[in-house]
Structure 1
């Protein structure tokens, strides 16, 4: 059995993410990946059991990195507005630094490969965002809402702005760039909507 090479494994992961974003899952195969990463298919099987294992582990890896960014400098003890701002700034930073990974996770979100990520997110969000929401409600900084409604109001506007930024335009403007000013203006509106 050949030894693992971290640089080779990183290259395989990067090429796989790029290929899935560019060609979709239907256009993705181990043979095409091997050619793109200039390795043999056998090399890929040193690191991954099969194509499904590779894609599942890619999903978990990208989502874990995104979570790590999202919760940097965040504490469930924070006041609601401050904690939500920290998460928005972190998510925007992740998106700006890793646009391909962000696009990859959006593609994967609606596939069976995302099931393991959902399990991980349930634990992470339950332990961090559950207490954060409860504290916000207790301090009368957040209107009581089901988590799904909260999530839709709290984060969907940011993700939509990120999509417009990535596309470089919006439905009415030929050019759009997500700036910190636009992000903060939108966050203020979201906070108003979530206050009791």
Structure 2
């Protein structure tokens, strides 16, 4: 039995994500991937059973990587404004560092090819996010909202700016110049929408 080489696995993973983002999963074959990674096609099967297994393992890796980065230095019991800003900046840092990984997640998160299985990292992430919101509501820092409305208000502006940045195009089609000042502006208005105001 051939042993696994971590460096080869990383190369396969990186090339596969690049090809899937640029060409779609239908355009990916083990032969094309092997050629792009400069290895034999049989080597890929040491790490992945088939294309579906490849996609699911890539998705699990990308998801765990993103959630782990999101929780770095994050305290679910911090005050809401501090915690949400940490969430925005953690997410942004990871997206800017690994834009292909983010595009891959966005492209395939609702794909029928994905067999979602909850990982330990996802469980940790969900509990941290739930605790963060519950703590803020309990401390009367934010209004209590349905989860979908909360998500739309708390993260919608962030992900819209991220999309403009990655597409390098604003709504008008003009080039989009993203900066932290713009992020701060969006954040301030986001906080106004969900922060509890004293009667």
Partner of 1:104: 104
Counterparts of 2:111 and 2:161, CA distance in 1? 23
For structure 2, the residue ranges without an aligned partner over 5 or more in a row are none
Q: 1:83: which partner in 2?
A: 83
User: What corresponds to 2:63 in structure 1?
Assistant: 63
- Cα distance in 1 for partners of 2:126, 2:146 equals 13
> TM-score if structure 2 supplies the norm length?
0.92
Q: How many residues align?
A: 195
Map of 1:50 onto structure 2: 50
Q: Which residue of 2 aligns with 1:147?
A: 147
Kept in 1: contact 2:13–2:58 (CA 8 A): yes
Question: Shift in Å at residue 123 of structure 1?
Answer: 2.4
Superposed displacement of residue 112, structure 1: 2.7
Scaled by the length of structure 1, the TM-score of the pair is: 0.94
Of 12-21 and 177-186, more deviation after overlay is shown by 177-186
For the pair 1:31 / 2:40, whether they are aligned, the reply is: no
| RMSD (Å) for aligned C-alpha atoms | 1.5
Shift of 1:86: 0.3
CA distance in 2, matches of 1:85, 1:171: 25
Determine the structure 1 residue equivalent to 2:161: 161
- 5+ unaligned residues in a row in structure 1: which ranges? none
Once the two structures are superposed, the pairs formed by residues 5-44 of structure 1 within 5 Å of their partners are 5-44=5-44
Deviation at 1:177, TM superposition (A): 2.2
| Counterpart in the other structure of 1:74 | 74
Give 1:113 deviation, angstroms.
4.2
Kept in 1, the 8 Å contact 2:17–2:100? The answer is: yes
- Partners of 1:51 and 1:141 in 2: how far apart? 47
What SS is found at the alignment partner of 1:102? helix
Q: Kindly state the Cα deviation for residue 122 of structure 1 after the two structures are TM-superposed.
A: 6.0
CA distance in 1 between partners of 2:91 and 2:122 (Å): 18
Deviation track 1:83-134 (CA, whole Å, cap 9, x = no partner) reads: 00000011111111111111111101121344426x3476234310111111
